[in-house]
Chain A
Amino acid sequence: MSLTLVVLIKQVPDITRVRFDVEKGRIDRSSAEAEINPFDLHALEAAVQVKEKLGGTVVAISMGPPSAVIALRDALARGADEAILLEDKKFAGADTLATSYTLAGAIKKLGSFSIIFCGEKTVDGDTGQVGAEVAEFLQIPHMYYVSKIKEVTENKIVVVSEMEDKSYVIECDFPVLVSVTKDVNNPRLPTLREKLRAMKTEVKIWHAEDLANVLNLNKVGYVGSPTVVSKIVVLREKERGGKVFTNMNEGVKVVLEELARRGLV
């Protein structure tokens, strides 16, 4: 049996460079280059490592605008064998529920699979909800906050799942969705040869009509999204206007006095 390993990818703006318009409450997405969500690189690496050990096919799936083809090409260069972009005006403006529903539909169309890997969250939406929602739509179990993959065989995976104060070792038979943290591995950089191979590999585009058999199109995109953003406020860093000491004796004295007043020393 050959394993099919699905990786969910989102293209996001480089969060360290993107500019925010404080006055208009807008995110200027053109101000920064788009890239694969950094958390997703760890999901992709996890899938590629499983393939290297057990064989199989890594399929990267993304939903996004036509320009997201670039992120999928990057995924191909980093070890994915196939890439599929879900692209349609009908998919635009989706919240996490509609996004997950659409991704789950595409995975159903794909047929059988063993593991779906995704990143813990994205740096733009920052919700961490899509993984578990996809698993629910597909009626498969999921494993969250996976910091280590201990073992993968041809029918099950054993991982370490993190809670705040402890961790659990859990195992699950396929099919399963695994959401990884950044601790799980160190993603590789693509080599030139792989980049060239990726340029020649086709990124499949699936439009809404291609998914009409598996999706109710009233449940995708803006129309299918139960949550609506009514306002965005760009935060300015709250400056505390604190006291600055260049003389450390004085600084330590004042700080300790304040801490004593607050009963902290």
Chain B
Amino acid sequence: MISEKKVMIFAEQRKGKIHPISFELLGKGKEIADKLKAELSAVILGYNIKREELTELIYYGADKVYSYDHPVFEYPDVIQYKHNIAKLVQQERPEVFLVGATHFGRSLAPRIAASINTGLTADCTDLQVDENGELIQIRPAFTGNILAYIKTKTRPIMSTVRYKVMQKSKRDLARKGMIVEMKTEIAEIRSPRFIEKEGKKKVDITEAKVVVAGGKGLGSPEGFKLLEELADLLGGVVGASRGAVDKGWIGKEHQVGFSGSTVKPKLYIACGISGAPQHLAGMRDSEIIVAINSDPSAPIHKVADYSIIGDLYQVVPLMIKEIKTTRGEKS
């Protein structure tokens, strides 16, 4: 049975490697496609992408993969990406088109939406198909204080979807799908030029399994050395509240919260962080939250699974010592 309806996702790649958000989009896309009885496709653009990478998209749920391979896609050149994707979307006319809310996705999706005059909902944390078969896009707004439920009147319904919120489908090596090689068209309008390939690799706190974060309660930049020791022991990274970053104790790339990064690690240890709403917005979905703070009334304790009321300069060294002792016994 060939379905008329289509659901499409944008598969982002970096240096030929598919970004994990693409698999999350396929997971959600599959759920929507099943409800709408639609075909699920992925569009990927890059340079020298290996065939094995493309088949991964099929293993994770794509029925069809539109693949563009051209040197213009080596860099995240929004204009060239937009030009080709907008053309494909206008040809294929999917009901729904999903893009990951990465920095690149957030820069690309609005241009596609404006160029084809359709609605775009930013940074969705859930997508549901209601009893009338309509897609409801759910997203936080007002700095994470409210959830808005949004419908789109135009087609395709476009949404960017927040990273690490949707579930991937199970990787199924038996899945079959079609890979369609597409011809790249070069857009006429000028793009910014990439003059320095890239800066030094930064800490990416959004990928870490464990985040040990510090706030103004550390009292000085040296406090982060202690947190780093604990983070190293746990195989994690160091995070920070805006207060600590604003004081210049640590770089902005470590900042967790509304004006920093949103993290969702297995373990979040907040040390000397009071827990302003802007900070909670960036970490409240962590699996386990441990708060270490000498102030028992600090709001961070409300979102914590474990609160230790005490001086972090005593508690953290004790944790480090206990972990080392336990490991020493085992070896």
- A residues sitting closer than 8 Å to B (CB atoms) are 15-16, 18, 20, 25, 27, 95-97, 100-101, 123-133, 135-137, 139-145, 147, 158, 160-173, 176, 182-183, 225-235, 237-240, 242-246, 248-249, 251-256, 258-260, 262, 264-265
Question: A242 touches which one: B82, B261, B299, B304 (CB < 8 A)?
Answer: B304
Q: How far is the CA of A183 from the CA of B248 in the complex (A)?
A: 12
> Contact between A132 and B308 (Cβ–Cβ < 8 Å)?
no
Other than the known A144-B78, A246-B296, what 11 A-B pairs have Cβ atoms closer than 8 Å?
A15-B142, A97-B114, A141-B78, A166-B201, A229-B149, A230-B151, A237-B284, A248-B314, A251-B308, A256-B323, A258-B306
A-contact bits for B71-93, CB 8 A (1 contact / 0 none)? 00001101100100000000000
- Chain B's interface: helix, strand, loop or mixed, by majority? mixed
Q: Given A15-B143, A248-B314: A226 and B152 within 8 A (CB)?
A: yes
Q: How far is the CA of A264 from the CA of B265 in the complex (A)?
A: 11
> From A259, which residue of chain B is reached at the shortest CB distance?
B267
> Contact between A228 and B150 (Cβ–Cβ < 8 Å)?
yes
Question: B234 touches which one: A16, A163, A264 (CB < 8 A)?
Answer: A264
Q: How far is the CA of A34 from the CA of B270 in the complex (A)?
A: 32
Query: Can you pick out 27 interface pairs between chain A and chain B where the beta carbons lie within 8 Å of each other?
Result: A96-B122, A97-B113, A123-B142, A127-B123, A128-B122, A130-B110, A132-B78, A132-B106, A132-B107, A137-B114, A141-B190, A166-B198, A172-B190, A227-B150, A227-B153, A228-B151, A230-B136, A232-B148, A233-B149, A238-B303, A244-B309, A246-B296, A249-B318, A251-B307, A255-B319, A259-B234, A265-B234
> Contact between B142 and A18 (Cβ–Cβ < 8 Å)?
yes
| Contact count A vs B, C-beta below 8 Å | 262
Chain B residues closer than 8 Å to A231, beta-carbon distance: 148-149
Q: How far is the CB of B125 from chain A (nearest CB, A)?
A: 11
Q: How far is the CA of A123 from the CA of B142 in the complex (A)?
A: 6
Q: How far is the CA of A100 from the CA of B122 in the complex (A)?
A: 14
> From A128, which residue of chain B is reached at the shortest CB distance?
B106
> From A158, which residue of chain B is reached at the shortest CB distance?
B195
Chain B residues closer than 8 Å to A225, beta-carbon distance: 119
> Contact between A227 and B192 (Cβ–Cβ < 8 Å)?
no
Q: Given A127-B123, A128-B106, A233-B149: A166 and B202 within 8 A (CB)?
A: yes
Chain B residues closer than 8 Å to A127, beta-carbon distance: 122-123, 141
